A = this chain, B = another copy of it.
Amino acid sequence: MSETVAELRYELALANRILAHENVFDAFGHVSVRHPEDPNRYLLSRSRAPELVETGDILEFTLDSKPVDHPTVQLYAERVIHGEIFKARPDVMAVCHHHAPAIMPFCIAGEEIVPVFHIGATMGTQVPFWDSRDEFGDTNLLVVKPEEGASLARTLAGNSMVLMRHHGATVVGATLRQLVFRSIYTCRNAEFQMAAKMLKTVSRLTPGETEMAAAVNLAPNASSRAWEYWVVRLEKSGGMPPR
């Protein structure tokens, strides 16, 4: 394994734990990154609660979501979310699927999430809504078949986030750190949007504001300031992955 891959596996374990510590994941949810040396593969943990993921748990998958080696460990059932999006979106380098409490009310009520503050603008101007019943009728709601993953990827289209009816959300990023930033701050945006609605009314950023605010908040300065912060918070909680 190259040093680049080794380092990225550690960073992915760290991303798992940060997303758990910042209330995006609980026992469930998963985050992947495209292989840095082979765009037809991606890295994802074995089936394990994200807060506990270590470097040794990270496995390699083809874009058909088959494990490259023949692991004896349990795998996440919903790998196709990652594989099908990596197939459909060559620009995407990292994918996060979660059931954060912040976004679940929107998934259940069928309410649109819109950017309501500058950092939330990183969601983009539109967050589509995917309903598994439209194509597949009654299911157990998990996205386990390739065609289910492909359907989700079609609804995501060129956007950065998609809500999934009665289930959760899937978020994508051009880098792993950008993905972590977007996943956390779209949750904050959802909380603020819901609170504004309960207080009085929701007004959203204009399209122009959204585009400009997204650009500045996805720039390395904002993202690295936040990353340092989340790492220190994780350290204080005793939650860093072993080196």
Contact = CB atoms under 8 A, between A and B. Distances in A.
Interface centre among A104, A121, A208, A236 (most CB of B within 10 A): A104
| Residue of A108, A119, A192, A201 contacting most chain B CB atoms (<10 Å) | A108
Given A203-B110, A236-B237, A118 B229 contact: no
A49 to B, nearest CB: 3
A141 B30 CA distance: 32
Given A51-B233, A140-B216, A191-B101, A108 B27 contact: no
A86 interface: no
A209 B109 contact: no
Nearest to A52: B232
A215 interface: yes
B47 A225 contact: yes
A157 interface: no
Contacts of A106: 199
A200 interface: yes
B141 A209 contact: yes
Contacts of A166: 116-118, 203, 205, 209
Interface in A200-227: 200-203, 205-206, 208-209, 212-213, 215-216, 221-222, 225-226
Interface of A: 26-28, 47-49, 51-52, 74, 77, 99, 101, 104-111, 116-119, 121, 133, 137-142, 166-168, 188, 191-203, 205-206, 208-209, 212-213, 215-216, 221-222, 225-226, 228-230, 232-233, 236-239
